[in-house]
């Protein structure tokens, strides 16, 4: 199964969300996960290399690559039907290399925030993605949401995005999210993460692959 963590809006928190997703699937659900880091900053790969230097256990592998290399990588990574491949995409839409990535995806997790620019970027990204992969399920995660977000804006944005997919519960703006790395998510965030990722797992992942040789 291939899951994209994507939005063309920079600063949406894609890389951190990819780590949280990978940590949740491996530790809470015992899934076999490979993270493909295509983001230009490659912050996930840097965290992974740092964790190896510190001799921390590696719950999953991280592969740094580019859009151009993806067609070849696709034939190597995730060949086992039990595997989940998480792809952290760069925040762009003007590259033909995105087409095979979009076409191969089984699910898109799209972080966004409740402001006009983020909403416009998210809608544009969604429309382009759906033209390439019309039937792909999407989950929109309100990410880094500050406590003073206006309810009127939230309601309007949710109504529009709900036309394209599921909207999860909110992930608030908390400093502990900066401590997420490739081998753990702080336990202080557990009560925030479970309501977001448990429904995603149950609806889109559970039953669509096998985990460790047994039904998920």
The tens digit of pLDDT for each residue in 78-100 reads 677 779 999 999 887 777 889 99
- Give the whole-angstrom CA distance, residue 201 versus residue 174: 23
Helix H or strand E encompassing 154: helix 151-161
Main-chain dihedrals φ then ψ at residue 162, nearest 5 degrees:
-65, -15
- Give the whole-angstrom CA distance, residue 15 versus residue 40: 11
CA-closest candidate to residue 173, choices 153, 152, 144: 144
- Bridge partner residues of 185 (DSSP): none
CATH fourth-level superfamily of 2-199: P-loop containing nucleotide triphosphate hydrolases (3.40.50.300)
The tens digit of pLDDT for each residue in 13-41 reads 899 999 999 999 999 999 999 999 998 88
- Give the whole-angstrom CA distance, residue 155 versus residue 135: 25
How far is the first Cα of the chain from the last one, in angstroms, to the nearest whole number? 13
Q: pLDDT tens track of the chain, all 216 residues?
A: 999 999 987 778 899 999 999 999 999 999 999 999 998 889 999 999 988 887 777 899 999 998 889 988 888 886 777 799 999 998 877 778 899 999 999 999 999 998 888 889 999 999 999 999 999 999 999 999 888 767 678 888 999 999 999 999 999 999 999 999 998 899 999 999 999 999 999 999 986 654 444 343
């Amino acid at each position: 199964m291939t899951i994209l963590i994507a939005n063309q809006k920079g600063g949406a928190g894609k890389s951190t969300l990819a780590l949280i997703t990978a940590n949740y699937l491996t530790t809470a659900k015992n899934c076999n996960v490979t993270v493909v880091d295509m983001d230009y900053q490659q912050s996930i790969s840097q965290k992974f290399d740092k964790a190896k230097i510190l001799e921390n256990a590696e719950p999953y592998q991280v592969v740094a690559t580019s859009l151009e290399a993806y067609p070849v990588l696709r034939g190597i990574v995730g060949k086992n039907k039990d595997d989940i491949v998480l792809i952290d995409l760069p925040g762009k839409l003007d590259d033909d290399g995105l087409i095979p990535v979009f076409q191969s995806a089984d699910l898109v997790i799209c972080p966004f925030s409740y402001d006009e620019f983020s909403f416009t970027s998210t809608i544009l990204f969604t429309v382009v993605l759906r033209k390439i992969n019309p039937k792909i399920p999407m989950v929109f995660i309100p990410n880094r949401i500050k406590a003073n977000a206006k309810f009127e804006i939230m309601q309007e944005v949710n109504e529009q995005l709900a036309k394209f997919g599921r909207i999860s519960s909110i992930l608030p703006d908390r400093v502990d999210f900066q401590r997420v790395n490739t081998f753990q998510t702080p336990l202080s965030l557990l009560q925030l993460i479970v309501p977001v990722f448990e429904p995603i797992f149950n609806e889109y992942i559970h039953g669509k692959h096998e985990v460790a040789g047994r039904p998920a």
